[in-house]
Chain A
Amino acid sequence: MSEPVQGRRGAVVQARALGKAFELATPWLDRLLRRGVPRRVRAVDDVSFEIAPGRTLGLVGESGCGKSTLARLMVGLESPSAGEARIGGADVHATLAAGGGAARALRRGVQMIFQDPYASLNPRWRVVDIVAEPLVEQGLVTRAQAPERVAALLEDVGLKGADLRRFPHQFSGGQRQRISIARALATEPGFLVCDEPTSALDVSVQAQVLNLMVDLQRARGLSCLFISHNLVVVRYVSDDVGVMYLGRLVELAPKDELFRAPRHPYTHLLLAAVPDIERGDRRRAPVLGEVPNPLAPPSGCAFHPRCPHADARCSAERPQLLSAGATRVACHAVQEGRI
């Protein structure tokens, strides 16, 4: 593996009271009867966290909890409806909106790896063009220099330099995800967002790709936001772990703390639900209920209808994310010392 070329270090990444509400198209009859009260989904609601340079924050939660929207907010693919995302001190949305050299530098410093290695690579392009695209776009290399740089990047991710003339369909799922990683690393970003990067892969291939990602992230000192529904995978790659439920962060803790002493009842539920081959004696407790409809989230704490510790306060008042030891948790029962 080659040394990091210019030693660009990881960036400080911050989310400050970040929120994103999507407006839904209202059926015409409702529009007529209720007169312009658009229905809104709060996909991400008042989320704050910080990722120190070179650290990895893992985000877990079920489908529809807002993980992917949060990822898209952090890289500027969505504009926030509240709060701000900052990378290296710069407000992502404002910088990109202003354009010019600052926006260019920001784009270069932020890259993303997506879930589906079949959908995220252009099937008509050769690997060399796919990986070189961000480099050429940023003016970092000329077309003529591209093959040499791409060959070196491919070797960094465990492919052969000679693979650069091939097309995506000539690679397996794991190899395609390696190509995505090579492309993401091409501009030497300081912040990498990975949205379910191994969910489409087999376990044996997943192990190869996760090992590679951790090696590259450490070697290059990247700050990383790693999103997955799989707690076991998140445990392997993260320094800190955040748990999301219906658009809000309900627990945020150092990895060891979260897995050793989870505080929020939802975190307990998620951990109890993980299929684990070491617990083959069928002790997994069947979990009650499902994620509620985000269009009509429950009042107070959104988790209260599924929570065994819920009381009147939980259904009326929304808990804030407050410190409890090394952990930050949004739960009345924890804050009152009931659990």
Chain B
Amino acid sequence: MSGGKLLEVRDLCVEFPTRRGTLRALDGVSFDIAAGEILGVVGESGAGKSLTGAAIIGLLEAPGRVAGGAILLEGERIDTLPPEAMRRVRGKRIGAIFQDPLTSLNPLYTVGRQLVETLRTHLPLDAAAARARAIDLLRQTGIPAPESRVDQYPHEFSGGMRQRVVIALALAGEPRLIVADEPTTALDVAVQAQIVALLRQVTQAHGAAVMLITHDMGVIAETCDRVAVMYAGRVVEIGPVDEIIRRPAHPYTAGLMASVPRLDGDVARLAQIEGALPRLDAIPGGCAFHPRCPKASPKCREERPELALVARTRAACWWPLTERGGAR
């Protein structure tokens, strides 16, 4: 990994107290992201991807709470900040991009007004300078004729253009970290490619770190430097993108990659992982994946594996898939 760690997540636990006891939705999640790096986070719905993102930007919905661990941004703990201080961090030092661009924008204000408001909240700019900067941001995110578009309302933009506006908003405070939760899921493939290219280009230009949450392996493959695979509230494998795709060590990662339909090469049948992600109130003991795992042994049912280096990725598995095979 190059450069310092811009974001460090250490042993993060998130809990939801319910009438029938406390549910642990994230259980010891650890990873870091360097400046200029894009970390992809993949997994099935309910694995904890979005929750991890929400915990980092301090927008966990009640009654969810951080029950343990630490989140450090540029070496400073942000998970313990009071809400008002966290609000200043969010927008200024952390930008957020969500799935649906229409719900991220206020339909009653022009995009220019929303950009100017964000800019002036976080940067010492007067109205004219903020407007010029807003136009500049729209231009950077590839919106044609930004001088006239700046005075239009969100409904006058197409889906792809709206997501560009959302990215411009996220970049307004010149954040060090961008958390993008399914930013291309609501978009058409052709527009997706444009947004993915834009995300890469702006992170390189701004030297920001990106946490890209998506279930689309194709987007991961062409955008990310490293990938973290989540299962039942834990990171089960993390490593360079090519290794995760081509030589996964965790049987879950391997199953996930095999179930992606490919464009080239005809398959008679898609590989599938049998069963379903366990519910939060019924996470199996030992390795949570063991009931669905073809390689599960008695040890997997009893002892929980921790992340450990296997070849070029780190995987939490007692029987990782390696060229030689066998236990670690």
Contacts and interface: CB of A to CB of B under 8 A. Distances in A.
Interface stretch (B4-12, B131-139, B270-278, B302-310): B270-278
Contact of A277 (B160, B196, B221): B221
A211 B264 CA distance: 18
Contact of A207 (B160, B193, B271): B271
A280 B245 CA distance: 9
Nearest to A234: B261
Contact of B261 (A236, A282, A285, A286): A236
A297 to B, nearest CB: 15
A284 B256 contact: no
Contacts, number: 129
The listed residue with most A CB atoms (<10 A of its CB), out of B190, B194, B267, is: B190
Nearest to B214: A275
A233 interface: yes
Given A229-B188, A229-B189, A286-B194, A276 B272 contact: no
Nearest to B223: A282
Interface in A202-221: 202-208, 210-211, 214
A233 B158 CA distance: 25
B259 A204 contact: yes
B262 A277 contact: yes
Contact of A231 (B44, B189, B256, B270): B189
B188 A207 contact: no
A281 B45 CA distance: 27
Interface string B268-294: 011111001100000000000000000
Given A202-B45, A231-B189, A275-B192, A290 B261 contact: no
Interface string A154-174: 000000000000000000111
A159 to B, nearest CB: 12
A111 B257 CA distance: 32
User: Which secondary structure dominates chain B's binding surface?
Assistant: helix
A273 interface: yes
Nearest to A266: B190
A287 B189 CA distance: 10
B276 A276 contact: no
B95 to A, nearest CB: 22
B215 A273 contact: no
B276 A275 contact: no
Interface in A248-299: 256, 259, 269-287, 290-291
A207 B194 contact: no
A62 interface: yes
B298 interface: no
Contacts of A276: 218, 221, 262-264
A63 B188 contact: yes
A14 to B, nearest CB: 28
A332 to B, nearest CB: 22
B191 A280 contact: no
A174 B274 CA distance: 12
A283 B222 CA distance: 8
Contact of A204 (B159, B188, B196, B256): B256
B70 interface: no
A273 B192 CA distance: 8
Contact of B189 (A206, A259, A270): A270
B81 interface: no
Nearest to B279: A172
A203 B189 contact: no
Given A173-B45, A284-B193, A290-B158, A277 B220 contact: yes
B216 interface: yes
Which 9 residue pairs are nearest across A and B when measured between Cβ atoms?
A275-B218, A207-B259, A280-B221, A62-B188, A207-B270, A207-B272, A277-B221, A202-B44, A287-B190
22 contacts: A63-B159, A63-B188, A173-B45, A203-B215, A203-B260, A204-B259, A206-B259, A207-B261, A229-B188, A230-B189, A231-B263, A232-B262, A256-B266, A274-B189, A277-B257, A282-B222, A283-B222, A284-B197, A286-B194, A287-B191, A287-B194, A290-B161
